[in-house]
Structure 1
Amino acid sequence: MQLLRLDQFAAHLNETFMVEIENVRSPFVLVEARPIQHHPVQGLVRSPFSLLFRHEAAVVFPQRIYTMSNNAMGEFGIFLVPIARDKDGFIYQALFN
């Protein structure tokens, strides 16, 4: 299992990540990558962080693990949760803790 970190994603803000949805690759744009406040814990492997992605589909996709890829980062599984809708589509969040 690949250990993903905030700095890996922050370098790709506003880039497209392709997500596999029912055998179709669909573009999600990384619109936010930020740390989550936390109390230091001994042995913590990485600091917690949050990612927000925008998808311009008119339908919302359910929360679940999706296969995601980016040219620079390769392919990985990510748990996405729909959290909001705006004029441009739906916003999905991934939390890492």
Structure 2
Amino acid sequence: MLDRILTYEDFEPHVGTDFTVLHAGDTPIILNLLEATALKKFGGEDSRAPFGLLFQSSYQDVIPQQLFTLQHDAMGKLGIFLVPTAQNATGTQYYATFN
């Protein structure tokens, strides 16, 4: 896993690409990164600018909100706390906020 603080700029070039949730289940869960959004910064100068990530999964079952290890072809393994936010005809959407 990465040993540095992730930023909006790390994810923005990967919008539209897939991340695989590494979990104990038999079915791999693929999340497509739909959006990377810069959020308003309230902290000091040396704090990370906050951002959010919206993912879409075609997996119909909802995985619980928790910290998951995600694998990405270009970014490697990442620890990301995912929160299910909506279900639609395609599957489930998940959001991650970085402050």
TM-score (norm 1): 0.90
- Which one has a larger percent strand, Structure 1 or Structure 2? 1
Work out the percentage of aligned pairs sharing the same amino acid. 34
Q: 1:1-97 maps to which residues of 2 (within 5 A)?
A: 1-24=3-26, 25-44=28-47, 46-97=48-99
Contact 1:2 1:76 in 2 (8 A): no
Contact 2:29 2:59 in 1 (8 A): no
Equivalent-residue separation in structure 2 for 1:73 and 1:57 (angstroms): 22
The alpha carbon displacement at 1:12 in A equals 0.4
TM-score (norm 2): 0.89
Counting matched residue pairs gives: 96
Report the RMSD for the aligned CA atoms in angstroms: 1.4
5+ unaligned residues in a row in structure 1: which ranges?
Answer: none
Equivalent-residue separation in structure 1 for 2:29 and 2:84 (angstroms): 15
